[in-house]
């Protein structure tokens, strides 16, 4: 694995497990590094942008995405696989009345395959604790002020379940192609800390 070491207890346990598996001949560190590099190379926010753009132009895809995102993702050549365990993806839709935001209060669970590496602030204890108790205030710190009538729903990711926000389609974009719409989406919009 990489020489960049995270000093967290979980990271230390992962390194110990890797060492034990290597020692027993059950893990080839070079092969693991290759697999991780291949995964990281494909993990980009552009994947999430494509998913959102497809949902904005294809009502059937959108319905399936909201019902069972894991089953819908192959339509755009994506999946939540690639690790030791397939994670369940839940896509939550912003509407006129509800705005969604995601967090992992325990650590930093995040759909890397669809959103790329998580932003530093997403992993910070300040964001993880405050967005749950004061979501409107946190969103305002990101420059997103919502009407008082808008309900803010906070979704807590975990080891088995990841979340992605389906932002509202911007007004006046009816003439744009799916590819052009994908260019309008932002990673923060997929986390819920920004509007698109």
10 burial via Cβ count (<10 Å: 0-12, 13-18, 19+): exposed
The span from the CA of 155 to the CA of 98, in Å, is 12
The 3-class SS string of 89-103 reads EEEEECCCCEEEEEE
DSSP character at residue 192: T
Which tokens hold the place of 132? 């749950």
Does the annotation mark 133 as catalytic?
A: no
Q: 2, 8, 79, 104: which is the annotated catalytic residue?
A: 104
109 is catalytic: yes
Query: Which of the following is catalytic: 2, 8, 79, 107?
Result: 107
Catalytic-role residue among 2, 8, 79, 109: 109
Q: Which of 8, 79, 108, 149 is catalytic?
A: 108
Within a 10 A sphere around the Cβ of 52, how many other Cβ atoms?
Answer: 26
Catalytic residues: 104, 107-109
């Amino acid at each position: 694995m990489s020489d960049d070491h995270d000093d967290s207890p979980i990271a230390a346990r992962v390194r110990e497990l890797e060492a034990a598996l290597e020692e027993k001949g059950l893990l080839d560190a070079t092969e693991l590094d290759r697999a991780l590099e291949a995964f990281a190379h494909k993990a980009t926010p552009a994947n999430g942008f494509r998913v959102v753009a497809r949902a904005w132009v294809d009502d059937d895809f959108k319905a399936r995405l909201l019902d069972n995102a894991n089953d819908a993702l192959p339509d755009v050549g994506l999946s939540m696989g690639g690790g030791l365990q397939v994670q369940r993806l839940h896509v939550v839709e912003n509407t006129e009345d509800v705005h969604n935001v995601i967090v992992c209060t325990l650590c930093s669970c995040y759909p890397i395959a669809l959103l790329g590496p998580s932003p530093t602030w997403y992993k910070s204890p300040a964001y993880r604790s405050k967005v749950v108790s004061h979501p409107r205030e946190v969103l305002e710190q990101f420059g997103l002020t919502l009407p008082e009538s808008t309900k803010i729903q906070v979704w807590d990711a975990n080891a088995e379940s990841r979340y992605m926000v389906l932002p509202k389609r911007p007004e006046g974009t009816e003439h744009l192609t799916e590819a052009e719409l994908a260019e309008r989406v932002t990673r923060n919009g997929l986390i819920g800390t920004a509007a698109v």
